[in-house]
C-alpha cells in the first residue's frame, strides 16, 4: 500500500466549499526532482482563481500552493547532490527561461513557463515534489513561515518595480492593492528604493497598516477618487510609476494618475482583465504600459536573500492549519486579509 498524506484538495471548480482535506498518496520524486516535507505554504490570489476554474491545464484533483518551505525528504535520479535534511524555500517558477527569449534552436522544443501549484501539484500538503533546481537554502534563524510567505509575492513585486519599471530613488509611485501579498511586498521594495510611495487599499484599518509598512500617502478606495487625490497631492504632476495588480476596476484611474512620461506596470487583474484605456491619454502624456510576470531564478534568489537578512519582511496575516484551508479561502476571497495567510500541516 502506498503511503498516504493529508492535503487540501479540490476535485471540481467552484466556491470555497469544494476545498476538502483528505488522504492522498505521498508523491515520489522523479528525475531531477526532490520531495519536500512541507513545514509551511502560503496562499495567493492565484489559488482562488484556480479553484474557480482558471482556463489552464491544472492537474485534478488539485493541490494548490505555489509558495512553500520545508525539509528535503527524498531525492530523485540526478538530484543526489541535494543533501537530505536541508531546510529550503522553493522558487515557484518553472521554465522562466521562456521569458528571456534565448531559444535553443528550431529543432528543440522550448518548455513553457509554469508555476508550481498551478500547472503542478503544490504545497498545501504534508509532502510536495519540486524541481531540485528551484531550491534555495534557508539560513539558520529564518522560519519556514517567513520563507513560505515571501517567495511568489516578493519576486513578483521585485521584477515589476526594479527590473521592468526601473524605479529610481526620488520617483513617485502609486501601488494599488496595497493590502495584498504583492502590494505589501511592493510597498517595502519601493520604500527601500528611495521612492515616495502612494498606496491604495480599502478601509481605515488597512490604511493604518499600509502606513506602518512605510507608505507615505495611503488612500481608502471606499472614500475617495484616488486619481483625483493623487493629482492634487502631487501638485498636478501625477506619479512617475503606477504598479497595478487590481486591473479592471481601477485601470482608468491608474492612467489618469500618471505624470507625463509615466510608466504603468501591471502583473495582476484581481477585479477583471478588461481595463478601459483612454488611448488619447496614452499618446498625449507619452505613457508606457509594461507587463510583468513572476521573476527569474536570479531575481528570486536576490530578493529572498533580502528577506533572509531582514531587509524585507513578508506581512503574515495569520498562520492556520491545513484543516482550515477552506476558511482561509473564504477569508482571502472576502478581502479580510492584510498580507499573507500561511498554512501549516
Mean pLDDT by 10 residues, the chain (345 residues): 92 95 96 98 95 83 96 97 97 88 74 91 98 97 98 98 98 97 98 98 96 97 96 97 97 97 96 93 97 96 98 97 95 94 96
Q: Are residues 180 and 199 in the same domain?
A: yes
Question: Phi then psi for 341, rounded to 5 degrees?
Answer: -100, 130
Q: Are residues 304 and 255 in the same domain?
A: no
The answer to whether residue 97 sits within a structural domain is: yes
- Rounded distance, CA 205 to CA 220, Å? 10
Q: Are residues 8 and 116 in the same domain?
A: yes
Bridge partners of 317, per DSSP, are none
Q: Are residues 217 and 263 in the same domain?
A: yes
Q: Are residues 172 and 141 in the same domain?
A: no
Domain hosting residue 176, numbered range: 166-291
User: How many C-beta atoms lie closer than 10 Å to residue 124's C-beta?
Assistant: 29
Q: What is the pLDDT of residue 221?
A: 95
Q: What is the pLDDT of residue 5?
A: 97
Question: Phi then psi for 28, rounded to 5 degrees?
Answer: -110, 135
The answer to whether residue 179 sits within a structural domain is: yes
Instruction: Check: CB of residue 238 under 8 Å from CB of residue 258.
Output: yes
User: What is the number of structural domains in the chain?
Assistant: 2
CATH number for the domain harbouring residue 85: 3.90.180.10
The alpha-helical segments, DSSP class H, found in 138-216 are 144-158, 181-192, 204-213
Instruction: Check: CB of residue 345 under 8 Å from CB of residue 38.
Output: yes
Q: Are residues 211 and 302 in the same domain?
A: no
Q: What is the pLDDT of residue 77?
A: 97
The answer to whether residue 158 sits within a structural domain is: no
The answer to whether residue 161 sits within a structural domain is: no
The answer to whether residue 159 sits within a structural domain is: no
Q: Are residues 84 and 190 in the same domain?
A: no
Q: Are residues 278 and 306 in the same domain?
A: no
Q: Are residues 185 and 313 in the same domain?
A: no
pTM confidence score: 0.95
The answer to whether residue 156 sits within a structural domain is: no
Question: Phi then psi for 201, rounded to 5 degrees?
Answer: -150, -170
Distances (CA, A) of 154 to 182, 328, 333: 7, 21, 21
Amino acid at each position: 500500500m502506498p503511503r498516504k498524506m493529508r492535503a487540501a484538495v479540490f476535485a471540481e471548480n467552484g466556491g470555497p466549499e469544494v476545498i476538502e482535506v483528505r488522504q492522498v498518496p505521498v508523491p515520489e520524486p522523479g528525475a531531477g526532482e526532490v520531495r519536500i516535507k512541507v513545514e509551511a505554504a502560503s496562499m495567493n490570489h492565484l489559488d482562488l482563481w484556480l479553484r474557480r476554474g482558471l482556463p489552464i491545464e491544472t492537474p485534478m484533483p488539485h493541490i494548490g500552493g505555489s509558495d512553500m518551505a520545508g525539509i528535503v525528504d527524498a531525492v530523485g535520479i540526478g538530484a543526489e547532490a541535494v543533501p537530505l535534511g536541508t531546510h529550503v524555500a522553493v522558487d515557484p517558477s518553472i521554465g522562466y527561461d521562456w521569458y528571456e527569449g534565448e531559444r535553443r534552436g528550431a529543432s528543440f522544443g522550448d518548455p513553457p513557463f509554469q508555476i508550481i501549484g498551478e500547472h503542478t501539484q503544490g504545497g498545501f500538503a504534508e509532502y510536495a515534489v519540486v524541481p531540485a533546481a528551484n531550491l534555495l537554502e534557508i539560513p539558520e534563524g529564518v522560519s519556514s513561515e517567513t520563507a513560505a510567505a515571501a517567495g511568489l509575492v516578493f519576486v513578483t513585486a521585485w521584477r515589476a518595480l526594479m527590473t521592468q519599471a526601473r524605479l529610481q530613488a526620488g520617483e513617485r509611485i502609486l501601488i494599488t492593492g496595497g493590502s495584498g501579498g504583492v502590494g505589501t511586498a511592493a510597498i517595502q521594495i519601493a520604500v527601500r528604493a528611495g521612492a515616495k510611495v502612494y498606496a491604495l487599499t480599502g478601509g481605515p484599518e488597512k490604511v493604518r497598516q499600509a502606513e506602518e509598512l512605510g507608505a507615505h500617502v495611503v488612500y481608502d478606495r471606499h472614500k475617495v477618487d484616488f486619481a483625483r487625490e493623487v493629482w492634487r497631492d502631487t501638485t498636478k504632476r501625477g506619479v512617475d510609476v503606477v504598479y497595478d495588480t487590481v486591473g479592471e476596476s481601477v485601470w482608468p484611474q491608474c492612467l489618469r494618475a500618471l505624470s507625463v512620461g509615466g510608466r504603468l506596470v501591471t502583473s495582476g487583474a484581481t477585479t477583471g482583465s478588461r481595463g478601459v484605456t483612454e488611448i488619447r491619454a496614452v499618446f498625449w502624456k507619452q505613457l508606457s504600459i509594461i507587463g510583468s510576470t513572476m521573476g527569474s531564478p536570479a531575481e528570486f534568489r536576490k530578493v529572498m536573500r533580502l528577506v533572509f537578512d531582514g531587509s524585507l519582511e513578508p506581512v503574515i496575516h495569520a498562520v492556520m492549519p491545513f484543516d482550515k484551508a477552506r476558511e482561509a479561502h473564504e477569508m482571502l476571497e472576502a478581502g479580510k486579509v492584510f498580507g499573507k495567510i500561511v498554512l501549516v500541516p
